Amino acid sequence: MCCHFWNGLDIGGDKESMKKIAKELDQVVEGWLQEHKQEHDVDTINKANTLALILAAEDTTSITMTWALYLLLNNYDAMHKVQHELNIHVGKDRLLVKESDTKNLVYLGSVIKETLRLYHAALLSLVHEAIEDCTVDGYQVSAGLISDLGFRRSHEAFGNCLVRFWVDSTTISGGRRVSSK
């Protein structure tokens, strides 16, 4: 399972250690797979995994759309800009936006990007374990403490940094991303 990505990268001289851990992880996952194959046939496993992927994709899409609507309803100017763009490029007669329309819906695309920035559809979780006693931002952390740093709204976690780039990093602004792809 050793990834070719790591071939040219040796951070802190830990390349061999990373290879060993990757091999151990591969063996653990392979063991789980073999156990699962004994308990269930391959078709059942494939169906379950396919269903899990479909449901995960649907869930994150509906969550993002819900947040986008919430943000637009609370930002009158942005909502009218999106409506105007839809009226021009899709028209009032058609109820559904086609995939071919999206290249022309630049402002709507930027609103979706802003929505994902403000409200991630999936938790971006970073789990860390302190390997020795230390102080983090003035707090004493004991060795062995496991922390889950879940970033839901990255603009709050990194707000001080973003102030330099965005005047109001806590609100939706489709114009902020219009020029980005």
**Which of 94, 126, 87 has the alpha carbon at shortest distance from 108?**
87
Q: Which residues of the chain have pLDDT under 50?
A: 1-3, 5-6, 154, 157-166, 180-181
Give per-residue pLDDT as tens, 7-33. Answer: 555 656 677 887 888 898 888 888 888
**pLDDT for res 181:** 43
Distance, CA of 110 to CA of 85 (rounded, Å): 12
pTM of the model: 0.52
Q: Which residue has the tokens 């005047």?
A: 167
Distance, CA of 48 to CA of 30 (rounded, Å): 18
Q: What is the DSSP string of 131-176?
A: SS-EEETTEEE-TT-EEEEEES-HHHHTHHHHTTT-S-TTS--GGG
**pLDDT for res 164:** 46
**pLDDT for res 122:** 72
Contact 123, 153 (CB under 8 A): no
Q: Specify the DSSP element, H or E, that contains 22.
A: helix 15-39
- Provide the residue ranges of all domains of the chain, joining segments of one domain with +: 13-177
